[in-house]
Amino acid sequence: MQPQHDFPDVSREQRAATELVKRIRKLRWMGFEEEARRMVRSSLRVCSSEALTAQAAAEGR
């Protein structure tokens, strides 16, 4: 039997974003500021790319 998780009704993307924020905060708490910055920059690139792809799809490109 698999363990039950009490996730509210949120999307997979929202849960992933929440986990990313937790990891970045934990890295900073542990003193790994540069690694946290790299993770933020990387996630911003991915989000920007996904947003452009979604916009192009919505416009029928």
The tally of domains found in the chain comes to 1
| Residue 18 covered by a domain | yes
Is residue 24, in this structure, part of any structural domain at all?
yes
Which residue from 41, 51, 40 is spatially nearest to 13, judged by alpha carbons? 51
Contact between 20 and 39 under an 8 Å Cβ cutoff? The reply is: yes
Q: Does 7 reside within a domain?
A: no
Q: What is the pLDDT of residues 3-30, one digit of tens each?
A: 556 666 778 878 888 888 899 999 999 9
In the predicted structure, residue 45 carries a pLDDT above the cut 80: no
Give pLDDT, residue 57.
Answer: 64
Q: Which amino acid is at 39?
A: M
Do the domain assignments include residue 48? yes
Residue 25 lies in a domain: yes
**In the prediction, which pLDDT does 46 show?**
76
User: 40 is in which domain, residue-wise?
Assistant: 14-58
